[in-house]
Amino acid sequence: MRIFLLTLILVTAVLGSGIWLNYQLYQQAIRETVAQRDERVAQAAALTIANAIRSRQQTINQLAFVAPEGRLDTAQLETTHPEFNYGFLYLKSEQEVTNLNSEVQLWEAVQPVKWSTVSEERIWSIRMDNETVILVSSIAADGSLLIGAFSASLLIEQAISEVFNPSDDALLFVVDKQGTPLFIMGEQLHNEVSLNHPGVQEAFTGRSGTTYIDPSYLELEHIVAYSPVPEVGWALVIEEAWQTVANPWLEITPLVPLILLVPLAVALFMLWLVNRRIIRPLQFLAQQATAFGQGEATELGQRRGAIGAIQELQHELDLMLAQVEASKSGLKRYLEAVNQGQEEERSRLARELHDGTLQTLIALDQQVKMARKRIPATEQDQNLQRAAGLLQ
């Protein structure tokens, strides 16, 4: 029984350990796979944003080529280049500025910027209407300057929609070197977007990669993928709990062997039950029957835990053994009675034989005596005298 229980415990422990190890390896593989995927997505999103900015830069270069010829038309620009949603500025000099978008007074926002900065920088940003506006410029052949302005958040949203499909618990944000959030998609999971967010400083140094946020104060461990945005020096960061990315059915897959533990446990329990209630009682009956067959007096009794059929068999065998014992006792008493009767008969016969012989001898003695009296002593022969001597 102890060996059986130890075997059951050992098998369960080995299977449980194997399943746990398999689950841990699976979780690690999923973790690494999600990290690699997020890193590639971050790089692709950053590259897409950079390409979109570069495309707008090329558009400004082309428009600057024809600007001195006076071929720029405000209505035409709004129709052909709607991506510049904050309009255009055409500067022949610092004093002569043409606002090519009558709906947005872009020059009022650009004025605080020094002319030297506007002339030297190809791409820069300003804060306007509580959001970041990207400015791209190009110098024409006559030295004039054409500036195009567009929303950073709109650009980023349009760019990442091609490569990023966020989950419910994912966060993507882009931040500039001043710590200003340019775009945020998703819920801020644990703290505010800032320069101190994991991955931001690494992206500013031009590196791409992944890191992990300690889950000690989070419900789940988070993966942080980061990548720099070329051309503008921004940092793009993706953060999500990798456990929520995996398919729930895939999460269950490593635990499928646990289902096998249920039928295994049932099978082992049934084996234990069969051993305890059938095999062991039958072995006990066989041992006791063998001992009884060898003449050893024994009593089976009722073994607890045996099934009803075996208990009934035990009861019938007990009755049979009791009947055998009773028969043996009756036979013994019968033999004792026979022996006693034989002894009594022998004693009676002995007494009868002894009494008859004695009476015969007495009668014979009397006859001898009477014969001696009738025959004179001188005439008595030797045989009569010998018979009288024997009867004395």
DSSP 103: T
Q: In this structure, are 225 and 323 located in the same domain? A: no
Determine which of 106-115, 213-222, 272-281 has the lowest per-residue pLDDT on average: 106-115
Determine which of 1-5, 40-44, 61-65, 307-311 has the lowest per-residue pLDDT on average: 1-5
Examine the fold and report which residue of 306, 329, 352 is the final residue of a domain before the chain moves on.
329
Q: In this structure, are 220 and 123 located in the same domain? A: yes
Examine the fold and report which residue of 180, 208, 243 is the final residue of a domain before the chain moves on.
243
For residue 293 the two structure tokens come to 């067959």
Give the mean pLDDT of 74-95.
75
Residue 192 has pLDDT above 70, yes or no: no
Q: How far is CA 387 from CA 207, 362, 367, 381, 390, in A?
A: 154, 12, 11, 10, 5
At 226, the pLDDT band (50, 70, 90 cuts) reads: very high
Q: Provide the domain limits for residue 24.
A: 2-243
End-to-end CA distance of the chain: 88
At 225, the pLDDT band (50, 70, 90 cuts) reads: very high
Examine the fold and report which residue of 192, 218, 243 is the final residue of a domain before the chain moves on.
243
Q: In this structure, are 88 and 130 located in the same domain? A: yes
Q: In this structure, are 183 and 317 located in the same domain? A: no
Give the mean pLDDT of 7-24.
70
Q: In this structure, are 209 and 67 located in the same domain? A: yes
Q: In this structure, are 162 and 76 located in the same domain? A: yes
pLDDT, one tens digit per residue, over 158-181 is 888 877 776 656 788 999 888 888
Q: Which of 71, 69, 60, 74 is nearest to 145 (CA)?
A: 60
**pLDDT cut 70: percent of the chain above it:** 63
Q: In this structure, are 277 and 181 located in the same domain? A: no
For residue 353 the two structure tokens come to 């034989």
Please state whether 241 falls in left (phi above 0), alpha (psi between -120 and 50) or beta: beta
What is residue 34's three-state secondary structure? helix
Residue ranges of alpha helices (H) inside 67-114 are 74-80, 106-110
Residue ranges of alpha helices (H) inside the chain are 2-66, 74-80, 106-110, 115-120, 152-160, 200-204, 242-245, 248-252, 256-274, 280-293, 308-374, 382-390
pLDDT given at position 236: 94
pLDDT, one tens digit per residue, over 316-345 is 777 777 777 788 888 888 888 888 888 888
Q: In this structure, are 177 and 228 located in the same domain? A: yes
Number of structural domains the chain divides into:
2
